[in-house]
Every structure is written in C-alpha cells, then in structure tokens.
Structure 1
Amino acid sequence: MRKLIFLLIVIVSMQSYSQELNCEVIVNAQLTGNENVQVFKTLERQLKEFINNTTWTDKTFKPQERINCSMVINVTDYNNDNFQASIQVQSARPVYGSSYSTPVYNYNDKDFNFQYLEFQNMVYNANQFESNLISVLAFHVYMILGMDADTFAPKGGDEYYAQAQVISNYSQQGNYSGWKLEDGNQSRFILIDNVLSDTYKEFRDVLYDYHRKGLDEMSNDAKEGKLSVAKSLNGLKEMNNRRPNSYLMRVFFDAKAEEIEDIFSGGPTVNISDLVSILTRIAPMHASKWRNINF
C-alpha cells in the first residue's frame, strides 16, 4: 500500500510539469544524395522526442499553452558520425481573441556541424557541455522560450536568455563554430550577447509592445491595435540610430517583415507615412514590402 501511495505521489508530481514545446522536427538530407538512409530517419525521431519530452523549465505549461515551433535541419554532408548541416528555427505564439498565430523567432543557423551515432543517448545538462548537437538545440530552445516570454511581459525572458548564454559559454570548449566572438557577426554568440546588451535594449521592449499592446488589442479595437504596432516599431529607430544595420534588426524583420506588410495593407486606415519612412531606413532589405503598404 505504501508503495502504491508513493507511486501515485511520484506520478502526480511528474504531471505537475508539462513540456513547454510543441516542436516539429524535420531532417532533410536531400543534398547528400542519400536521403533515404535510415540514420536520418532515426535522428529525426530522436530529436523530436528529445525536444518535446525534455522539461526545460520549472514552469507549468498546459497542453494548449505549449509553444508551437519547428526546426528544419538541412544536412549537406556526412561521413560516419560527422554531419555538416544548417538549421532553420521558427516559433510562433497565438494572438489574443483570434485564430491567428504570429511569428516570433525565425533564425537560420548556418554553423551546425555535429557528431551523431545512431540511437545514441540524448541528455541535456544545464551546466555541462554534452555535444554540439545538444548545445545548439538547447540554445535555440531557450531563445524560443525567451522571446516568447518577452512578448507577454516586459523583460519576461530574462531567465531563459541567461540559460542560453550559459550554454553559449560552456559550448566554446567544443571548438565548434558559432560559439565565439571571432566566429563572425551573425553567430549564436553575437545573438545572445546583443539580446542581453543595453545597447539593443529597445529590441526587447518592442517585442512586448508590438505583441501585447498591439496585436493582442486588435480584437478589441483594430485601429488602435494597428496604431500601437506602429508606435512600437518606432522604438527600433533609436536602436538603429545607436547601431545601424545591427544583427538584431535583421533577426526581428526576418520574423516580422511579411506580417507588418499585411497589417498595414488592409483593415482600418491609419496614417503611417512616418512609419513607412522609418521602416525603409532601418530595414532597407525589405523595401519592396514597405512599398506595398497602403495608408
């Protein structure tokens, strides 16, 4: 009887925490010319189980609160247990009062080389380097969690970004690309360093204002919601004045450019001529989209 009670307590305690992510994982090996090799299918299945079944935080997530995201791994070459690849990571969160999901994180990580033996154990250690495969995946999981939390509360992602930085720091010992300052200005190192830097403080403010004060209010008042989105984007002007053409600006608009075009090309009319001018200056790579905005 005591054993039964103990077992029930364990089960209840385990169920008090639910996994945070609903992540679709795809391993695409077409570029290798051997996409049907079993190891790629095994890798895909193991990664999906690892990401979705690992408990990444001490928060309680209801099934409907799990963050929808995807990771597409494009393998370009492999030799025995050495894989050369890139990974496209995307996440979205629901908009209040609608069936629409808004993109939040959209990151193309081109430095994703790793070792993998079929059926190897996949274990995440919060304070210790296990493998580059685990580190890269865990890093992006915490970036997803951090950015998602920032859209719901000011600086809501602090603890998740802190863990992403811990991963970045201890993963330098693996001598894989993407974890060090000298790995270029579009690396994982630069991404988390910039997110946590006061130099780019407006980035996180905009994440909150754009989503919580803007998109989430559109179901109540579409025009006021649009005006709030426009006002939030003005905050990026200050960041751009301080550091023109920053990497975080690209990260933001990789996720948001198409959505911004759609928001301001329909619905109630608002005067956003100043916003179009600002967008053209701070994100000129999307100038064709800004030209489509009607006001």
Structure 2
Amino acid sequence: MRNILVVLLVLISFTGISQELNCKVIVNAQQTGNENFPIFKTLEKQLTEFVNKTTWTNQKFATQERIDCSMFINVVEYSGESFKATLQVQSSRPVYGSSYSSPIYNFNDKDFNFRYLEFQNLIYNPSQYESNLVSVLAFHVYMVLGLDADSFAEKGGDPHFKQAQIITNYSQQSNSIGWKLEDGLQSRFVLIDNILSPTFKEFRSVIYSYHRNGMDIMSENAKQGKEEIVSALSTFKEMNSRRPNSFLLRTFFDAKADELEQIFSDGPNVNIASLKETLQRIAPMHSTKWNNIKF
C-alpha cells in the first residue's frame, strides 16, 4: 500500500510541473452588444483551459516557474460561428532577488478572426492545421515561451521560435489574415520571420543581456545593472542603422518603455545622456517617456 502511495505522489508531482504557463485569458464582447451571451463565458473558460493545460514543450516547469502571461480577446463582431476580434498578449519574467516581474512581450494582434462552436474540442497539433483559433493562440504561446527562454540563455528560445514558424507555415492554408508576407508589416508572419532573421540578430542578444546581465543583478548592484542595460540597448543602434524603425524594435519598446522610464528615474546615478540619445534615435515613438528621464 505504501509503495502505491509513493507512486501516486510521484505521478501527481510530475503532473503538477508539466504545465508551462500561468495565463489569464479574458474574452470581452462588450462591442457586440451581446456580452452576456453564455457562449462568451464558455469560450473564455475553454481557452483558459486550453492555454494552461496543453503541454507545449517537453520541459518540466515547477509551479513557481510557470510563465505569467495574459491574453485579452476583444470580440468586435459575432455572427453564428464567426468571430472578429483583436488579441492583446502580454508576458513577464521574474527578476532575480526581487518580487518584481519584468514585462517581456506585449503584442496587439489586430487580425484575429476565427470560427468557434460552443463546447467544441480545442486540440493543438504541432504539425497540422486545426483552426485559426488554435493556431493564433499556439503561435503566441510559443512567442511567450521563446522570449522567456531567450531572457535566461542566449538563443534559448530557438525550439519555441522554430515551432512558431512551423505554425505560421501550415496556417497559411487557412487564408486567414496574419500568416503571410502580404498581410502587412506588423503581422505574425513578419514577427517570427524577423525574430529568426540574421538581419535582426541583435534583438535576441539584447533580450538576454538586458535581463540576465542587467535586471537580474540589480538587487545586488543596482548601478552595475543599469550600466549593463545601457550597454545592451546601445547594440540596437547597429540594427536600427541597418533597418530603421523596425517592427521588432517597436515590439521591444512597447513592452519596455514604462520600465525603462522607471529604472532610469530612480536609484544610483549613471550616465544617461548617451542612453537618452540612443532611445530618441531608435524608439522616437516613446519620446515623451525618454524626456521624463531626468534623474
């Protein structure tokens, strides 16, 4: 009997560490005028279970290691099984030696149209198209996983980004918007293509250096951490000179602008003149925040 209990405890422990995400999914249907329809609550519940209970990798995550993220789905039109929506995906990663979580992914997917029948099974197949609903969510899950892994190890996100690219490739058959080059400069296709392109190689290097060499040492040496962040961001200048105002730079600063304003407006002094010049050059869309850095 005791041996059976031990086996059960082992199985339970493995079950408890097989899930990678701690994701809050919200479905907002206010714009449809039918936000109280049960189908929207059912959709929210099913998507929450789908994202959090699907096994996305072969890695083991302890409960405290799960990646915090959120998906806000704003349904703007609804007719039968057809939904027209936008999707805001955000994720963060913990900072060593603190209770602070650093934002790492903030993406507004404006072309999220899908079909959904209440209570339908949501199944993810890593090598086969199932539906645009599943593909879009899976794509962003792997973006979250990839960026998180990159922030802890150089090129740590490779397997996740490659899976996001596989999803992109097989989802092109659906003719849904966002999976092809011709779908615009801020599509899923462009995002993963740029992430994996040598043209934007500095992006992933900055993700690693900013977090591991900068944020993660600030609890022990705040000044050195800030200096490392300045050094990491300076490498963006070369990427920006190669491809000015790139989509990847916009996605990075959409996630990091508020954090940077806060970091460099408090704590030990570092030379911010060169930092502000760099930020104004590579991320002018956040110039108001950079002007607020006066510490």
- TM-score w.r.t. length of structure 1: 0.96
> Would you say the 8 A contact 1:266–1:294 is kept in 2?
no
Corresponding residue of 1:193: 193
User: In the aligned structure 1, how far is the partner of 2:226 from the partner of 2:140?
Assistant: 30
**Deviation for aligned residue 1:13:** 8.9
Corresponding residue of 1:143: 143
Structure 2 unaligned segments of length 5 or more: list them: none
Q: Cα RMSD (Å) of the superposition? A: 1.6
Is the aligned partner of 1:219 residue 2:222? no
> Would you say the 8 A contact 1:16–1:60 is kept in 2?
no
> Would you say the 8 A contact 1:17–1:58 is kept in 2?
no
Task: Describe the superposition over 1:230-282 as per-residue Cα deviations: whole angstroms up to 9, x where unpaired.
Answer: 11000111110000010000000000011001100110011120110010011
User: In the aligned structure 1, how far is the partner of 2:12 from the partner of 2:51?
Assistant: 22
> Would you say the 8 A contact 1:230–1:275 is kept in 2?
yes
User: In the aligned structure 2, how far is the partner of 1:157 from the partner of 1:46?
Assistant: 27
Task: Describe the superposition over 1:128-166 as per-residue Cα deviations: whole angstroms up to 9, x where unpaired.
Answer: 000000000000000000000000000110000000000
**DSSP-derived class of the 1:113 partner:** strand
Corresponding residue of 2:19: 19
**DSSP-derived class of the 2:111 partner:** coil
**Deviation for aligned residue 1:174:** 0.6
**DSSP-derived class of the 2:72 partner:** strand
> Would you say the 8 A contact 2:16–2:63 is kept in 1?
no
Letter in 2 for 1:288: T
Letter in 2 for 1:148: D
**Deviation for aligned residue 1:16:** 7.5
**Deviation for aligned residue 1:17:** 4.8
Task: Describe the superposition over 1:3-60 as per-residue Cα deviations: whole angstroms up to 9, x where unpaired.
Answer: x79x859946953851000000000000001100000000000000011001100001
User: In the aligned structure 2, how far is the partner of 1:179 from the partner of 1:65?
Assistant: 31
Is the aligned partner of 1:126 residue 2:110? no
Are the structure 2 counterparts of residues 255 and 184 from structure 1 closer, same or farther at C-alpha, using a change threshold of 3 Å?
same
Corresponding residue of 1:47: 47
Q: Output aligned runs, 1:154-165, within 5 Å.
A: 154-165=154-165
User: In the aligned structure 1, how far is the partner of 2:209 from the partner of 2:148?
Assistant: 13
Task: Describe the superposition over 1:170-211 as per-residue Cα deviations: whole angstroms up to 9, x where unpaired.
Answer: 000011000000001000000000000000000000000000
**DSSP-derived class of the 2:235 partner:** helix
Corresponding residue of 1:282: 282
Q: Output aligned runs, 1:73-222, within 5 Å.
A: 73-222=73-222
- TM-score w.r.t. length of structure 2: 0.96
**DSSP-derived class of the 1:201 partner:** helix
Corresponding residue of 1:65: 65
Letter in 2 for 1:205: S
User: In the aligned structure 2, how far is the partner of 1:29 from the partner of 1:262?
Assistant: 34
% same residue: 65
User: In the aligned structure 2, how far is the partner of 1:98 from the partner of 1:12?
Assistant: 30
Which 10-residue stretch deviates more, 266-275 or 60-69?
266-275
